[in-house]
Amino acid sequence: MIKGFKDFLMRGNVVELAVAVVMGAAMTALVASFGAAFLNPLITLVTGGAEVGGAFTVNGVVFPYGVFLNGILVFFLTALAVYFVIVLPMNKLRERFTPAAEEVDEVHAEAELQVLQEIRELLREQRRSQ
């Protein structure tokens, strides 16, 4: 049971998923702090100087749309950062170290040819023995 659990943990996709979750959380925290330090003040400056960015009031109820704008910007910045910092470099590495499809096809073709030649030889021997 322990060996099976260890094998499960050591599979590449589980380790990659754990790294992705940790990196995603770190990237989200970084972009959120960027949003709090730069985007909120910028939204506040552009939308008229409310406490948390732009806001409007209807019947005494405050609608802080600046918080929503900040959330949208943080989401897109996080997605961009994860793509350019994690996904794009990993794809480049995968392309670099993974054999091209043509090379794989050639290897498969050679293996198939060898198997077919072995079958031919076995059939010849079988005919001779009859």
Question: What radius of gyration, in Å, describes the C-alpha atoms of the chain?
Answer: 29
CB of 63 within 8 A of CB of 57? yes
Mean pLDDT of the chain: 78
The DSSP bridge pattern shows strands 61-63 and 56-58 to be antiparallel
Determine the average pLDDT of the residues in 98-123.
Answer: 79
> Taking the alpha carbons of 74, 24, 37, 88 in that order, is the dihedral positive or negative?
negative
In terms of pTM, does the model score above 0.75? no
The answer for residues whose C-beta is within 8 angstroms of residue 90's C-beta and 6 or more apart is none
Residues 1-33: tens digit of each pLDDT: 777 777 766 666 766 777 778 888 887 888 888
Residues 60-110: tens digit of each pLDDT: 887 777 778 878 887 888 788 878 887 888 888 878 877 666 666 777 778
